[in-house]
Structure 1
Amino acid sequence: MVRSLGAEELADVEWTGARYADKPTLEVRTWIDAPPERVWALVCDITLMPGLSDELQSVEWLDGAAAPAVGARFLGRSRHEAFGEWETTSHIVEYEPGLVLAWAVEDPANPSAIWRFRLEPKDGGTELSEWMQLGPGRSGLSVAIDRMPEREQKIVFVRLREFERAIASTLEKIKERAEA
C-alpha cells in the first residue's frame, strides 16, 4: 500500500525528481486468475472505468464510436479535490485486440497524458499492466506548476503517487470482476 506524504513531510524532502517536461511515467501490474479474453472485455469497456475510479466521473464515445479503434475519441469528465472538475477529449492511439489499448489525452501530437493497458497471457491467467505518462502537453497540473514553479518536482511527485494509488485500485477492481 502506498501512502500520501503529509505537508510537514513534503517540506522536509530533498527533491531531485522529475519535472513535467521530463514526461514522467509509471506502471502498475497485477496477475489475474482469468483468461485474457475476459480481462480484455473489461479493459475495452470504457463505460466501466468511472465505476473503477474515484477521479473519473463519466465517459462517452464521440463521433458515433461505440468501441475502441485507432482514431476513436471519447469525452471524459473528472473531479479532483485540488483541481476541481474538468473535461478532456481522449484519442485512441494504439489498439491491438486482446493485447493493448492506449489513448492520448487532448492533442495526440502533444498530449497532456498518455494511458495504456497491456495484457499478456501468463501462468494460466493474465498479467495486466496499466501505464501512464504525464505531459508534455499542458494540463491542470501545468496550472499548479505555473503558480508554484519552485515546487514543480513536489507537485509532479505527489500527482504520480496519486496516480499510482488510483491505478493499483483500478487494477484490483478489474481483477475482482474478472475473477468473479
Structure 2
Amino acid sequence: MDQDFGVTGSHTEVELLVDVPVERLWQAVTDLSRIGDWSPECTYAGWLDSHSAPTVGARFEARNRFPNGLVTQVECVVVAADRPYSFGWNVFGSPPEATEAFATWRYDLRPAARANQTVVRQSFTHGPGESGARAAVRADPGNAAALLQGRLDQLRRNMTTTIEAMVRDIQSRRA
C-alpha cells in the first residue's frame, strides 16, 4: 500500500473582504465561462450534460495549465449550490463513477458589515483520489512535506489572484 505523506485532508484557504455585493460575486464564482479570464491555473471550465447553472449533482469539465507546462483536464461534480452563499465541487481525474475525488473546492460568501461588501472564503481540500500532488510526493518522499506545502502555498496565491481579478472585473462593469 502506498504511503499518503499527509496529502489526504491537506487543506488551504483564503478569506478576503471585497467591495462587491454577495449576489454579484455569486454570479461571478458560478460563471464557469469566465474562470479562464481570472485564474492563473484554470484555463477553461464548462458545464456538461446540458447543465448551465450550479445545482448539486451537475457536472462540468475544467482544464488547467501549470507553470511547468503540464496541461490537465478534470471532471467536476457540484456538491454545494446554495445561492448566493456557497458553491462547491469535487474534482476527479476520470469519470466520477470510476474514481474517488482527489480534491474539493468551495466558495463561501457572506455579507459584510458594510453594505455592498462581501467576505469571500475559497478553500481547497485534498481528497483520497489520485492527483498530481500525490504523484509528486510519492516520487520524492524525502521532500514530501515541502512539496505538499509548496503546492498548498501555490493554490493560496492562485485563489487570491483569481478572486482579486474577479472583483476588478465586476467593479469595471459598474462604471
What is the TM-score with the length of structure 2 in the denominator?
A: 0.86
Confirm or deny that 1:75 pairs with 2:58.
no
| Paired residue secondary structure (1:20) | coil
1:45 aligned residue: 31
For residues 78-109 of structure 1, the C-alpha deviation after alignment (integer angstroms, 9 at most, x for no partner) is: 11133711110000011101000000001498
Check conservation: 1:32, 1:178, Cα contact below 8 A.
Answer: no
Preserved contact between residue 56 and residue 81 of structure 2 (Cα < 8 Å): yes
Determine whether 1:135 maps to 2:122: no
Matched position secondary structure for 1:65: coil
Q: Secondary structure at the match of 1:71?
A: coil
Q: How does 1:52-67 map to 2 (within 5 A)?
A: 52-67=38-53
* Paired amino acid for 2:27: A
The superposition leaves residues 110-143 of structure 1 with CA deviations (integer Å, 9 ceiling, x where unpaired) of 3111100111011211111111112221101122
Kindly state the Cα deviation for residue 74 of structure 1 after the two structures are TM-superposed.
0.6
Q: Aligned residue for 2:78?
A: 92
User: Aligned partner of 2:104: which letter?
Assistant: I
Contact 2:90 2:102 (C-alpha < 8 Å) held by counterparts: yes
Q: In structure 2, what is the Cα distance between the partners aligned to 1:179 and 1:120?
A: 18
User: What is the alpha-carbon distance in structure 2 between the residues aligned to residue 29 and residue 179 of structure 1?
Assistant: 19
Q: 1:3 aligns to what?
A: none
Moved over 2 A (4+): 107-110, 177-180
In the comparison of the two structures, how many residue pairs are matched? 162
CA distance in 1, matches of 2:129, 2:148: 14
Contact 2:104 2:126 in 1 (8 A): yes
TM-score by structure 1 length? 0.84
Paired residue for 1:156? 148
Matching residue of 2:109: 119
- 2:127, 2:24 → 1: CA distance? 31
Go from structure 1 to structure 2 and tell me whether the alpha carbon gap of 1:147 and 1:83 turns closer, same or farther (over 3 Å shift): farther
Q: Which amino acid aligns with 2:143?
A: R
The one-letter code matched in structure 2 to 1:122 is: A
> What amino acid is aligned across from residue 60 of structure 1 in structure 2?
G
> Any stretches of 5+ residues in structure 1 without a counterpart?
1-17
For residue 170 of structure 2, what is the aligned residue in structure 1? 178
User: RMSD in angstroms over aligned alpha carbons?
Assistant: 1.7
Amino acid aligned to 1:120: R
